[in-house]
Chain A
Amino acid sequence: MTLGEIRGILGAIVITQRTDMDREIGRAYCADLMSDVLAFSVTQSLLITGLTNVQVVRTADVADIKAIVFVQGKRPDLDTIETANSKNIPLLVTNLSMFETCGRLYENGLRSATGDTP
C-alpha cells in the first residue's frame, strides 16, 4: 500500500516536508527498541514506534526504513523532524495506540517485515 493510504487508515498527519505520499510500503515492523530494528532485517519497511528521539530517525536511516509512524499522538522535536527531512524519511503521527495502529494496518493487508506471515 502507499504511504497516502496508510495516512488515511490511521487518520495520521504528516510532519515532514515534501513527503512523497505515493511511496510504496510493503511491510511493517513495530518496536520501541532500536536495537531490535538494527538487529533484524526489517529494511524497506514502515517503522511503527512510540519513541520520538532523534536516534529513531538515525536508526531508520542506517536500516533503510522507508517511513516512520509515531503512535499515541507523540511528536518528535524540531531537530528530529529536520533530520528526517534531510534524510528523506517521512514521519507520520497518529493518535491511535500502537495496538490499534498495527491492527488496522494488518486488517488492510500490511504484513510483518520479519516475514511471520505470508
Chain B
Amino acid sequence: MTGSSDGVFFLTGKDFTNAGSASSNLKSILENMGIPADIVRRASIAAFEAEMNAIIYAVAGMLSYSITPEAVKVTLQDMGPGIPDIDLAMKEGYSTAPDYIREMGFGSGMGLPNIKKNTDKLTVNSVVGEGTTLEFVIYLEGPPPQTS
C-alpha cells in the first residue's frame, strides 16, 4: 500500500435508501489503495455498523476517514439523542431500536460490540440530547508500542 487519503461522507438520518453507501464507498477506497483484505473487511464492517447507528438514531451525521501507511482511522460524529449509558450500550444484545429497524434486519444490539471486536482502538463520547462521536482505529501492522 502507498500514500495516504482522507475524506468525509455526510449522512442523513432515516435515509435507509442510502444507508451503508458511505461505508461501501470507503471499502472501495481502501481496496483501491491496496490495503490488505482482512483490514478492509474489518474497517468496512465497523464503519457500516457505525453508519447504520447514525442513520437509525440521529438526524444527521458525518463519517470521516483518514488512511495512512500505519492505520485506518474512522470518526463518526452524529447529531442524535446521545447514549445515556455507554457501558450498557456496549453489551451484546442491549438495544433501544424500534421494531421497524429490527424488521430491516438491524437493531439487535450487536453494533457497538461488533465495532469493538473489529477494531484495535475504539472511543465513544456522547452527550445526551446533543449527539455521539465514535472513533475507531485499525492498525495496518499491529498496534504501535506504548510510549508513555
Which residues of A come within 8 Å of B, CB atoms?
Answer: 31-36, 38-39, 43, 51, 53-56, 58-59, 61-64, 79, 87
Contacts of A55 in B (CB 8 A): 16, 19-20, 52, 104-106
> Chain B interface mostly helix, strand, loop or mixed?
helix
Contacts of B24 in A (CB 8 A): 58, 61-62, 87
Q: Tell whether A39 pairs with B114 under 8 Å between CB atoms, given A62-B27, A64-B41.
A: yes
**Cα-based distance from A32 to B27 in the complex (angstroms):** 23
The 3 A-B residue pairs with the shortest CB-CB distance, nearest first, are A58-B20, A34-B105, A62-B44
Contacts of B110 in A (CB 8 A): 35-36, 38-39
Chosen A-B contacts, 14 in total, with CB atoms closer than 8 Å, are A34-B105, A34-B106, A35-B105, A35-B110, A36-B110, A38-B48, A38-B110, A39-B117, A51-B105, A55-B104, A55-B105, A55-B106, A62-B48, A64-B41
Contacts of A36 in B (CB 8 A): 108, 110
B: number of interface residues (CB 8 Å): 27
> Measured between C-beta atoms, what is the minimum distance from B130 to chain A in Å?
26
B17 and A54 contacting across the interface, CB-CB below 8 Å? yes
Contacts of A34 in B (CB 8 A): 104-106
Contacts of B47 in A (CB 8 A): 62
Contacts of B45 in A (CB 8 A): 38, 62-63
Q: How many A-B residue pairs have CB under 8 A?
A: 73
A56 and B105 contacting across the interface, CB-CB below 8 Å? yes
B111 contacts partner chain A, Cβ-Cβ < 8 Å: yes
Chain A: which residue is nearest B21 at the CB level? A58
Contacts of B21 in A (CB 8 A): 58
Q: List 5 other contacts, CB 8 Å, given A38-B114, A59-B20, A61-B20.
A: A35-B114, A51-B104, A54-B16, A55-B104, A63-B44
**Cα-based distance from A79 to B108 in the complex (angstroms):** 25
A62 and B20 contacting across the interface, CB-CB below 8 Å? yes
Contacts of A62 in B (CB 8 A): 20, 23-24, 27, 41, 44-45, 47-48
Q: Tell whether A35 pairs with B44 under 8 Å between CB atoms, given A55-B19, A58-B24, A87-B24.
A: no
A58 and B41 contacting across the interface, CB-CB below 8 Å? no
- Those of B2-21 within 8 Å (CB) of chain A: 16-17, 19-21
